[in-house]
């Protein structure tokens, strides 16, 4: 994902010069100061759909900063395994809560996230910039955005309740979605890419630091890849390797399904989500189409509609 997404960024950026100019004219800056609630762009989506890329594209055009809402990526370490956007792909956009926490300090709860992330949102807004919240942990996103946040209540556990739908920020909620079978195929390939990029070596170094990383790191230790490869590092057989890879693929696909289900539940409790269908982008990638073809699909189906929505959201 990392390689492909960085490849089409500049091309895609070039497709929207008018938006760049309008953004540079201060659309977002004029907005703050005359509203009581901070204005926030939120990007939801399953793993592998392009949330991080979209957050950077939006941030680059609208003078924004990204607040990470992935509960594994908040911790330092395992950058390949957890799919953190590499520094070079962040294109200078400031990121908050991305790899900032010491994994040995315990698990960041939803209320802990609400408190850290709302401080980040307030700080970003006070600088006249737009907070873009992006990540796959929907309980974190719900905790940050909901008017009321009670750690004991699972927001995804059943019948919609009207109060759970009210938001404490003025929000533009973008959902990057990809048709399930195309996403599953892409996620399998992405695991292979991550392995080629050094995931196994990264995990080997991680396991070499001590007996059971999940005890030392109760949050980061749950990253897909850590439990799945534990047995492989004990046995080091080809069969154990294949089994670990199959489990990583399976669990990644399951994660994506769970994420979509939770996003749909947020829609059901009244969140006004704008769904962006990134299936053609993923289909182009799977079909081995040119980078230009993929960038065009991204601009047409994801980036263009998102920018128009953000622009009108910031002008209203
Ligand atoms: P939610 O927060 O949406 O209610 P959740 O508590 O199940 O759901 P998720 O963020 O969906 O949390 O993550 C679930 C699990 O998926 C994690 O515990 C981890 O195993 C895996 N996971 C999530 N994000 C990543 C990531 N970036 N890298 C590796 N594994 C991840």
The predicted-structure confidence for 158-182, as pLDDT tens digits, reads as follows 655 555 678 999 999 999 999 999 9
The residue whose CA is least distant from atom 12 of ligand 1 is: 137
The residue whose CA is least distant from atom 23 of ligand 1 is: 72
pLDDT at residue 30, rounded to an integer: 36
Q: In this model, does residue 16 exceed pLDDT 60?
A: no
Whole-number Å distance, alpha carbon 36 to ligand 1 midpoint, is 33
pLDDT at residue 150, rounded to an integer: 73
Pocket test for ligand 1, best of 44, 72, 77, 262 (most atoms within 8 A of CB): 72
The answer to whether residue 238 is domain-embedded is: no
Q: How far is CA 312 from CA 17, 161, 263, in A?
A: 17, 29, 23
Q: Is the CB of 190 under 6 A from ligand 1?
A: no
Q: Is the CB of 224 under 6 A from ligand 1?
A: yes
CATH code at 163? 3.40.50.300
The answer to whether residue 164 is domain-embedded is: yes
What integer is the mean pLDDT of 33-39?
Answer: 68
pLDDT at residue 166, rounded to an integer: 87
What integer is the mean pLDDT of 192-200?
Answer: 98
pLDDT at residue 10, rounded to an integer: 31
The answer to whether residue 193 is domain-embedded is: no
Beta bridge partners of 175: 44, 275
Q: How many residues appear in the chain?
A: 316
The total number of structural domains in the chain stands at 1
pLDDT at residue 26, rounded to an integer: 37
The residue whose CA is least distant from atom 19 of ligand 1 is: 223
pLDDT at residue 138, rounded to an integer: 97
Q: Is the CB of 138 under 6 A from ligand 1?
A: yes
Quote the domain boundaries for residue 258.
Answer: 2-183+251-315
Confidence of residue 153 (pLDDT cuts 50, 70, 90): confident
Average pLDDT, the chain: 87
> Edge-to-edge strands of the sheet including 64-68?
95-96, 64-68, 130-134, 39-45, 170-177, 273-277
Which ipTM value was assigned to this complex? 0.94
The answer to whether residue 136 is domain-embedded is: yes
Q: In this model, does residue 206 exceed pLDDT 80?
A: yes
pLDDT at residue 160, rounded to an integer: 57
**Which one-letter DSSP state was computed for residue 50?**
S
Whole-number Å distance, alpha carbon 35 to ligand 1 midpoint, is 34
303-316 tens-digit pLDDT: 999 999 999 999 98
Q: How far is CA 267 from CA 43, 66, 175, 180, 205, in A?
A: 13, 23, 10, 18, 41
Confidence of residue 290 (pLDDT cuts 50, 70, 90): very high
Question: Which tokens go with 44?
Answer: 């939801």
Q: In this model, does residue 155 exceed pLDDT 70?
A: yes
Could you tell me which residue, 36 or 299, shows the higher pLDDT?
299
Q: Is the CB of 118 under 6 A from ligand 1?
A: no
What integer is the mean pLDDT of 184-201?
Answer: 98
Residue for token digits 């509203």? Answer: 35
Q: Is the CB of 90 under 6 A from ligand 1?
A: no
Residue for token digits 């990470």? Answer: 68
45-77 tens-digit pLDDT: 999 999 999 999 999 999 999 999 999 999 999
pLDDT at residue 163, rounded to an integer: 55
What integer is the mean pLDDT of 118-138?
Answer: 97
pLDDT at residue 134, rounded to an integer: 98
Could you tell me which residue, 71 or 18, shows the higher pLDDT?
71
Backbone angles phi, psi at 103, to 5 degrees: -65, -20
What integer is the mean pLDDT of 202-218?
Answer: 87
Whole-number Å distance, alpha carbon 275 to ligand 1 midpoint, is 21
Q: Are 44 and 51 in contact (CB under 8 A)?
A: yes
Q: Is the CB of 23 under 6 A from ligand 1?
A: no
Confidence of residue 28 (pLDDT cuts 50, 70, 90): very low
Pocket test for ligand 1, best of 134, 224, 262 (most atoms within 8 A of CB): 224
What integer is the mean pLDDT of 232-245?
Answer: 96
The answer to whether residue 111 is domain-embedded is: yes
pLDDT at residue 159, rounded to an integer: 52
The answer to whether residue 63 is domain-embedded is: yes
Using a pLDDT cut of 70, give the percent of the chain over it: 86
Q: In this model, does residue 20 exceed pLDDT 60?
A: no
């Amino acid at each position: 994902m990392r390689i492909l997404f960085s490849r089409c960024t500049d091309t895609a950026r070039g497709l929207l010069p008018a938006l760049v100019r309008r953004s540079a004219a201060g659309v977002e800056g004029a907005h703050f100061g005359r509203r009581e609630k901070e204005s926030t762009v939120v990007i939801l989506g399953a793993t592998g759909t392009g949330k991080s890329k979209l957050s950077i594209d939006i941030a680059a055009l609208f003078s924004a900063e990204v607040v990470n809402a992935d509960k594994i990526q908040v911790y330092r370490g395992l950058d390949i395994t957890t799919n953190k956007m590499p520094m070079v792909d962040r294109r200078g956009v400031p990121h908050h809560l991305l790899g900032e926490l010491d994994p040995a300090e315990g698990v960041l709860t939803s209320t802990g996230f609400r408190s850290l992330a709302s401080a980040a949102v307030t700080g970003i807004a006070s600088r006249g910039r737009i907070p873009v919240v992006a990540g796959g942990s929907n309980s974190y996103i719900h905790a940050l955005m909901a008017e009321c946040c009670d750690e004991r209540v699972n927001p995804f556990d059943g019948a919609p309740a009207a109060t759970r739908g009210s938001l404490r920020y003025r929000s533009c909620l973008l959902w990057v979605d990809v048709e399930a079978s195309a996403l599953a195929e892409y996620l399998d390939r992405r695991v292979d890419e991550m392995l080629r990029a050094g995931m196994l070596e990264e995990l080997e170094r991680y396991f070499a630091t001590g007996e059971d990383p999940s005890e030392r790191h109760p949050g980061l230790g749950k990253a897909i890849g850590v439990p799945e490869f534990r047995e492989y590092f004990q046995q080091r057989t080809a069969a154990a390797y294949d089994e670990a890879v199959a489990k990583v693929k399976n669990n990644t696909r399951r994660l994506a399904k769970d994420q979509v289900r939770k996003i749909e539940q947020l829609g059901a409790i009244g969140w006004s989500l704008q769904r962006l269908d990134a299936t053609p982008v993923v289909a182009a990638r799977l079909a081995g189409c040119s980078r230009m073809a993929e960038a065009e699909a991204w601009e047409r189906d994801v980036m263009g509609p998102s920018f128009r929505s953000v622009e009108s959201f910031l002008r209203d």
